[in-house]
């Protein structure tokens, strides 16, 4: 992806641990890639979350490379100028209509009793589907995420970015909700990451706390994340599936007691810090994967963290 295009979309940059070399079509080096971005790519009813490496792409804003073509293996009708995605992988993972019907929330109407919205088979666990359970602060556990810093390093503080009226309103609502549920609290921390908004595919706003400078000085947790292609292979022949979508999945894990001040963020409405694991910390995916792997141990499962929605697929 062209760097200016990523900047225009206000996409947060992901630092690469190891820079990637860039070669042109003649095999000549064009420099190195230091950053990537992620965003949904939609073609008609086909959508996937795609990582783009940020570099000079000339007159093209984005380029879908050979790895994308291999994974999705599209059929192109050059006569009718149509493109389709008949592969098994795309039919199960990228078809918007199927995914929306499978992921549709069945309990969006607050006027209908919760028991009438949840199948009878799940009434034993009815409380976990309700709002009250979600509003409670989770307890401290062995899975609390630590934020261990390199020796002698201190988390920096950043600027307060300008926001549109709509973004300011959304920020105020999120802060009020976070304070009410105990997910965040007022802070006197010397640290303070800046915040910004990016637009999601449905047009809604997604709050991003820019923890890049904190991540630069955080000791990395190398707990392995599963390969997506390995997990897809394990699903071959399966007939029954259960999808468990953890609401704000990361927020089910606490920040290690004493490390909360390192998550502080600055806004026009004040200075705050997280008590639960926020999105954007460098070790958050590894910590959450560890938490979920232990949670589903002993089940016949495929546990895969999807960063976009923190969803887990359980295979029977």
| Per-residue confidence (pLDDT) for residue 193, from 0 to 100 | 95
Asked if residue 125 is part of any domain, the answer here is no
Asked if 181 and 62 sit in the same domain, the reply is no
Owning domain of residue 160: 142-315
Asked if 31 and 156 sit in the same domain, the reply is no
Q: Which residue intervals of the chain are DSSP H helices?
A: 3-8, 66-72, 88-93, 96-103, 114-117, 131-135, 165-181, 212-216, 228-234, 284-295
Average pLDDT over residues 253-260: 96
Give me the percent of the chain exceeding a pLDDT of 70: 84
Name the domain boundary from 48, 74, 100. 74
Name the domain boundary from 74, 92, 125. 74
pLDDT band at 315 (very low <50, low <70, confident <90, very high): very low
Name the domain boundary from 19, 48, 74. 74
Asked if residue 223 is part of any domain, the answer here is yes
| Per-residue confidence (pLDDT) for residue 87, from 0 to 100 | 77
Are 159 and 295 spatial neighbours (Cβ–Cβ below 8 Å)?
no
Per-chain mean pLDDT for the chain? 81
Length of the chain, in residues? 316
> Tens of pLDDT along 16-51?
888 888 877 777 777 889 999 888 788 877 877 788
| Phi, psi for 273 (deg, rounded to 5) | -140, 155
Residue 273 DSSP code: E
Among residues 157, 236, 228, 161, the alpha carbon closest in space to that of 193 is found at 157
Asked if residue 132 is part of any domain, the answer here is no
Average pLDDT over residues 182-208: 91
Asked if 158 and 240 sit in the same domain, the reply is yes
Asked if residue 216 is part of any domain, the answer here is yes
Asked if 275 and 185 sit in the same domain, the reply is yes
Query: Into how many domains does the chain fold?
Result: 2
Asked if 174 and 306 sit in the same domain, the reply is yes
Asked if 65 and 146 sit in the same domain, the reply is no
> Tens of pLDDT along 60-72?
898 888 888 888 8
Q: What is d(CA 282, CA 316) in angstroms, rounded to the nearest whole number? A: 32
Tokens of 104: 């549709």
Asked if 160 and 244 sit in the same domain, the reply is yes
Asked if residue 117 is part of any domain, the answer here is no
* pLDDT exceeds 50 at position 226: yes
pTM: 0.58
Q: What is the CATH number of the domain that holds 290?
A: 3.10.10.10
Asked if residue 88 is part of any domain, the answer here is no
Asked if residue 22 is part of any domain, the answer here is yes
Asked if 158 and 285 sit in the same domain, the reply is yes
Average pLDDT over residues 200-209: 85
Asked if residue 165 is part of any domain, the answer here is yes
């Amino acid at each position: 992806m062209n760097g200016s295009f990523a900047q225009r979309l206000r996409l947060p940059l992901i630092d690469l641990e190891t820079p990637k070399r860039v070669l042109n079509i003649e095999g000549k080096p064009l420099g190195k890639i230091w950053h990537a971005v992620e965003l949904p790519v939609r073609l008609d009813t086909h959508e996937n979350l795609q990582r783009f490496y940020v570099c000079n792409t000339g007159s093209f804003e984005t380029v879908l490379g050979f790895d994308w073509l291999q994974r999705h293996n599209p059929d192109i009708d050059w006569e009718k100028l149509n493109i389709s995605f008949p592969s098994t992988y795309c039919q199960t993972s990228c078809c918007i209509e199927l995914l929306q019907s499978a992921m549709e929330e069945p309990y969006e109407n607050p006027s209908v009793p919760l028991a009438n919205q949840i199948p009878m088979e799940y009434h034993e666990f009815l409380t976990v589907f309700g709002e009250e359970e979600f509003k409670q602060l989770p307890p401290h556990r062995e899975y609390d995420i630590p934020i261990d810093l390199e020796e002698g390093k201190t988390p920096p503080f950043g600027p307060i970015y300008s926001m549109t009226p709509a973004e300011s309103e959304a920020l105020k609502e999120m802060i009020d909700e976070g304070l009410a549920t105990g997910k965040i609290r007022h802070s006197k921390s010397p640290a303070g990451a800046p915040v910004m908004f990016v637009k999601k595919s449905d047009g809604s706003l997604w709050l991003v706390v820019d923890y890049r400078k904190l991540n630069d000085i955080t000791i990395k947790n190398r707990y392995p994340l599963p390969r997506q292609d390995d997990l897809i292979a394990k699903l071959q022949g399966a007939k029954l599936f259960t999808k468990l979508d953890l609401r704000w999945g990361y927020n089910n894990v606490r920040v290690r007691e004493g490390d909360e001040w390192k998550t502080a963020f600055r806004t026009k409405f004040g200075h705050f810090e997280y008590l639960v694991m926020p999105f954007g910390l460098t070790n958050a995916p590894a910590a959450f994967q560890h938490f979920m792997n232990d949670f589903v141990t002993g089940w016949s499962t495929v546990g895969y963290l999807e960063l976009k929605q923190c969803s887990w697929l359980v295979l029977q």
